[in-house]
Every structure is written in structure tokens, then in C-alpha cells.
Amino acid sequence: MLKTRKDPGFSLVELMIAVSILSVGIVAVLTSFLNSASLLDSLHNRLAAINFLEGKISDLRQKAIEEDGIEPDSSQEEIALGNRRAEFRLEIQPLDVEELKDYINEAKFSLSWQEGNKNKDESLVTYLPVLAEK
């Protein structure tokens, strides 16, 4: 005859199933958290890059005001972007519109850095007056 259990507790099999379901849920939550943290770090770096580029644009605009314009130029330098190294590039060239090329220069500001095994790049463009002849 089968003996009936008087203790209505959980069996070992039921407990093992509950623990395995709980562990799958915890792994899913932790994976989601790590992905969110990685995305947040990436967005933080991008925001820092844009702020840096906007500062450089502001500096060049001020220089253009003080000197009555800006000449075509090209420069490149390595900078620290937070805790990463980045490469800053500036290219100033005449505007590619025939009627305006004697009056307006296009200035392209670029910043490149490495995140993990991916290369990231951010660029901003502004237009500045050509250096006035004295």
C-alpha cells in the first residue's frame, strides 16, 4: 500500500524546479542591467564628444569674430575624452557652392574613439566667414 504524506511541504523535485525558474529570471534581469549600463556608458561618451566639439566650434567662431573671418586649414590632435583617448580632426575649406565659396568656409569638426572593439565617431559642421582681406 501507498503511504500518504501527512506533511504538506514541498518535495525536492518541486523545490529544484522553482529554483531553476528563479535563476533563469535572475539571469535575464542581470543581462538586461548589464546591457543598460553598457548603453549608458556609450551615450555618456557620445555626449562628452558632442560637448567637446561644440566647445571647439565656439572657440573657432570667437576667433573668426576677432580676426574678421577664418582661413582654410586642417589640423589633427589626440585628446583625452573622459578616460579614453580620442582623435580630434578639424577641416576648414571653402564652401562647395560656387556663388558662396569666396565668402563662407565650411568647418568640419570630428572626434573618433574606441569603445570595446568598436570605433565610434562624432562630427559637427558649421559655416564661418572667409578671412577678410585687409
Residue spans of the domains in the chain: they are 12-129
| pLDDT score of 9 more than 80 | no
Which of the four pLDDT bands, split at 50, 70 and 90, describes residue 83? Answer: confident
Give the Cα separation of 120 and 40 in Å (integer): 15
Per-residue pLDDT averaged across 101-107, rounded? 92
Question: The pTM is what?
Answer: 0.77
Q: Is the pLDDT of residue 130 over 80?
A: yes
Residue (of 57, 31, 36) closest to 110 by Cα position = 57
Question: Which one is the CATH code of 12-129: 3.40.640.10, 3.90.550.10, 3.40.50.1100, 3.30.1300.30?
Answer: 3.30.1300.30
2-11, 15-24, 32-41, 52-61, range with the lowest pLDDT: 2-11
Residue 82: pLDDT band (50, 70, 90) is confident
Query: Could you tell me how far CA 83 lies from the centroid of its own chain?
Result: 13
Q: What pLDDT band is residue 8 in, cutting at 50, 70 and 90?
A: confident
Distance of CA 60 to the CA centre of its chain: 23
Give 34's pLDDT tier (boundaries 50, 70, 90): very high
pLDDT on residue 16: 92
State the chain's mean pLDDT as an integer.
90
